[in-house]
Amino acid sequence: NAGVTQTPKFRILKIGQSMTLQCTQDMNHNYMYWYRQDPGMGLKLIYYSVGAGITDKGEVPNGYNVSRSTTEDFPLRLELAAPSQTSVYFCASGSGTGYEQYFGPGTRLTVT
Amino acid sequence: GQQLNQSPQSMFIQEGEDVSMNCTSSSIFNTWLWYKQDPGEGPVLLIALYKAGELTSNGRLTAQFGITRKDSFLNISASIPSDVGIYFCAGRDQGAQKLVFGQGTRLTINP
């Protein structure tokens, strides 16, 4: 099992550009999550999904959108990138039974 | 919203020392999880706790689910250089589908 994979690993965007961060898991987990981690800080939940076709907002959803068309994939979309979105983004998945979450390696995004 | 207070924020210790860190919440939790994050990597799950009073070990790591259900502790015995990193606690209250994370404890070890 590859677990949770994220692409790209690094990206630099100009203000106003858009991009999609990809996340795929091969563990057949129903639950998937997107977090952002600012330097020296903990994890803040952006969006989450409890199954295909179901998404919900987390703590900091503004400026982001998600979709969940399959169990495996949970892409995160930034429509109009802003410097405040410079951060490291982590995707995670879990079975939902024990609420344990397993994280991907992260995408480091810089908006200038 | 819910908040987790994790302490200490940072620790500087000598190799071979034991380490203790804790996490407290403002509300009762049904699940406590402890993660470790190495530089440039995603958090890795160390220990999961599901019952008040539960004490669980993973090698040199031991974690406990506090009796009040509002706190959890992580101990590392006989620290080694590869223990360096940031340790996060995370909790979930009854009915919630998501975790709340602490701010992390940064562990530095002097050889």
pLDDT per residue over A25-66, tens digit each?
Answer: 999 999 999 999 998 888 999 999 999 999 999 999 999 999
Q: Is the link from the previous residue into A61 a cis peptide, with omega within 30 of 0?
A: no
Query: CB–CB of A42 and B101 under 8 A?
Result: yes
With a cut of 90, say whether residue A73 has pLDDT above it.
Answer: yes
Terminal CA-to-CA distance of chain B, rounded, Å?
40
Tell me which residues of chain B have a pLDDT lower than 50.
none
- For A15-35, give one letter per residue: b (16+ CB within 10 A) or e: eeeebebbbbbeeebbbbbbb
**What is the Cα–Cα distance from B88 to B2, expressed in whole angstroms?**
16
Q: What is the DSSP letter of B2?
A: -
Q: Does B97 touch chain A (CB under 8 A)?
A: yes
Interface test with A, best of B9, B98, B105 (most A CBs within 10 A): B98
Interface test with A, best of B5, B101, B106 (most A CBs within 10 A): B101
Cβ atoms within 10 A of the Cβ of B40, count? 10
Give per-residue pLDDT as tens, A1-33: 789 999 999 999 999 999 999 999 999 999 999
